A = this chain, B = another copy of it.
Amino acid sequence: MQRLKAAIVGATGMAGQQFVQALSGHPQFEVVAMVSSRTARNYAEALLEPDGASRWTQSSEVPEDMAEVPVVTSEAFRPESVDVIFTAVESDVARELEPRFAATTPTFSTASLFRQEPDTPLMIAGVNHHHAELIRVQQRRRGWKGFVVPIPNCTVTGLAITLKPLADAFGLTRVLMVSMQAVSGAGRSPGVRTLDSLDNILPYIPKEEEKVRSELGKILGRLEGEAIVPTPVPVNAICTRAAVLDGHTEAVFAGLGKAASVAEVKQVLREYRPFAGARLHSAPEEWIHVFDDPFRPQPRRDRELGDGMTTSVGRVEPDPVLGGVKYVLVSHNTKMGAGKGAVLLAEALLEQGVFGG
């Protein structure tokens, strides 16, 4: 089968590099162009700083199949020359580029710009792919041949993935969450200073708690006609930053609509298998791994489970205060919660026939 032509926008930034890793050697997508504000012949060159340092911050080396991909500016880039676009840019840049791209080409975005647009689904593969119907509404209303679908904030991802099977099986009444987030979520420039993180917890991440509430509400919401009605379940969060490189840890209290034993909750989480019929390239074998060892999950030890695509859960215990359960989850914020999660979503929509046909 011919691979679809793909472009990565913002390819030299940290989020862009995560797309580069996720798309290296991909069986369905072939990266044929990178878009960057850095002038360079190809990707390898674009990563090089004047002082000899490399902008590449991932633990493995720059993938060989990516080093020679040509790099162009956004002005020079013609979106109709590719079949799919993955964007990893700040909101102000997204505002300028994404509508232009979406006019012709399916676009998957890590930016927050479109997340709360009424005609746009906010999607996590395996959680709410039925919201994909809204894409047709977006296309029709805006007169686009392509579309833009954003993924949520990385803090929402693991929370939504673990709450979805609980909501389906038992119903949700209330959710309270405290996150201990990794520094990679803050990006590279400036990122989180060692002066702020070492021997410390930062008790605040601007706008994060708001995003948890509103994005989770939309993801767990119901598609009615041409709009998504957010879930009525009350949600609140306190989001903090810890000295962890990758992997958000979240402590969750979830009120359940009906009584459920710890064993039943664990079983529901363990048996969660979206896409039963389709084996997607970036999907993990286990969507949710539930530990019985009370000292797990730990971000450093468990973030790479399923190559960063499995959500790890542990400490499942009854919570009488909300009438449900408490648990701790670890979700890889720069894999499932970022570029690789967006690639998985593209695979799912391709499988569903939303594009690529």
Contact = CB atoms under 8 A, between A and B. Distances in A.
Given A51-B294, A57-B195, A201 B299 contact: yes
A59 to B, nearest CB: 6
B236 A321 contact: yes
A63 interface: no
Nearest to A320: B234
Interface stretch (A98-106, A238-246, A341-349): A238-246
Contacts of A243: 194, 198-199, 242-243
Contacts of A319: 176, 236
- The list of the 8 closest CB pairs from A to B, nearest first, reads A178-B178, A238-B251, A190-B190, A200-B300, A203-B328, A183-B194, A178-B251, A194-B197
A190 B297 CA distance: 22
A75 interface: no
Contacts of A175: 321
Given A206-B51, A321-B234, A193 B195 contact: no
A193 to B, nearest CB: 4
Nearest to A183: B194
A183 to B, nearest CB: 4
Contacts of A176: 176, 253, 319, 321-322
A214 interface: no
Contacts of A183: 193-195, 198
Contact of A197 (B198, B201, B202): B198
Given A194-B198, A296-B203, A322-B176, A240 B249 contact: yes
Looking at A180, A190, A202, A234, which has the most chain B CB atoms within 10 Å of its CB?
A180
Nearest to A174: B321
Contacts of A244: 199-201
A141 interface: no
Given A199-B243, A299-B201, A238 B315 contact: yes
Given A192-B193, A304-B59, A293 B53 contact: yes
A268 interface: no
A240 B180 contact: yes
Given A201-B249, A203-B315, A236-B253, A294 B194 contact: no
A188 interface: yes
B299 A53 contact: no
A300 B57 CA distance: 11
Contacts of A292: 52
A340 B4 CA distance: 42
B242 A242 contact: yes
Contacts of A301: 59, 200
Contacts of A193: 183, 188, 190-194
A314 interface: yes
A298 interface: yes
